[in-house]
Amino acid sequence: MKKVIVVGGGPAGLMAADVLSAAGVAVHIYDAMLTVGRKFLLAGKGGLNLTHSEPPGIFASRYGGRRQQIEPLLKDFGGTQVRAWARALGIDTFVGSSGRVFPTDMKAAPLLRAWLHRLRHPVGAAVAGPGVQFHMRHRWTGWRADSIDGTELRFDTVDGPVLAQADAVVLALGGASWARLGSDGAWVPWLKARGVAVAPLLPSNCGFDVQGGWSEYFASRFAGQPFKSVAINLTTLQDGSFQRKGEFVATATGVEGSLIYAASSLLRDEIIRLGQATFQLDLLPDMAAQRVLAEVRHPRGSRSLSSHLKSRLGIEGIKAALLHERLDKTQMSDPDQLAVAIKALPITLAATRPMDEAISTAGGVLFEGMDQNLMLVQMPGVFCAGEMLDWEAPTGGYLLTACLASGKRAGQGALAYLGAK
Give yes or no for residue 12 having a pLDDT over 70. yes
Q: What is the mean pLDDT of residues 135-163?
A: 91
Give yes or no for residue 125 having a pLDDT over 90. no
Least confident of 52-61, 137-146, 163-172, 246-255: 137-146
Give the burial string for 138-163 (b: 16+ CB within 10 Å, else e): bbbebbeeeeeebbbbbbeeeeeeee
Give yes or no for residue 126 having a pLDDT over 80. no
Give yes or no for residue 124 having a pLDDT over 90. no
pLDDT tens, 69-85?
A: 999 999 999 999 999 99
Give yes or no for residue 44 having a pLDDT over 90. no
CA nearest to 389, candidates 405, 397, 381, 101: 405
Phi, psi (deg, nearest 5) at residue 94 = -145, 160
pLDDT at 197: 97
Q: How confident is the model at residue 128 (pLDDT cuts 50, 70, 90)?
A: low
Amino acid found at 284: L
Q: What is the mean pLDDT of residues 361-374?
A: 97
Q: What is the mean pLDDT of residues 120-133?
A: 74
pLDDT at 16: 98
The residues facing 28 across adjacent strands are 5, 133
pLDDT tens, 270-324?
A: 999 999 999 999 999 999 999 999 999 999 888 999 999 999 999 999 999 999 9
The CATH number corresponding to 3-202+364-420 among 3.40.449.10, 3.40.1160.10, 2.40.160.20, 3.50.50.60 equals: 3.50.50.60
Q: What is the mean pLDDT of residues 74-103?
A: 97
Is the Cβ–Cβ distance between 175 and 361 less than 8 Å?
yes
pLDDT tens, 195-211?
A: 999 999 999 999 999 99
% pLDDT > 70, the chain: 98
Least confident of 129-143, 163-177, 229-243: 229-243
Q: How confident is the model at residue 149 (pLDDT cuts 50, 70, 90)?
A: confident
pLDDT at 129: 65
Q: How confident is the model at residue 1 (pLDDT cuts 50, 70, 90)?
A: confident
* Reported pTM: 0.93
pLDDT at 157: 96
Least confident of 143-157, 182-196, 253-267: 143-157
- Could you give the dihedral angle defined by the CA atoms of residues 285, 286, 292 and 294, in that order, rounded to the nearest 10 degrees? 160
Where in the chain are the domains?
3-202+364-420, 208-352
8-state DSSP, 285: T
Give yes or no for residue 238 having a pLDDT over 80. no
Mean pLDDT, the chain, rounded, equals 94
Q: What is the mean pLDDT of residues 358-377?
A: 97
Q: How confident is the model at residue 241 (pLDDT cuts 50, 70, 90)?
A: confident
DSSP 338-376: HHHHHH-EEEEEEEEPPGGGSSEEEEEE-GGGB-TT-BB
pLDDT at 300: 86
% pLDDT > 90, the chain: 89
Q: What does DSSP say about strands 240-250 and 93-95: parallel, antiparallel, or unpaired?
A: unpaired
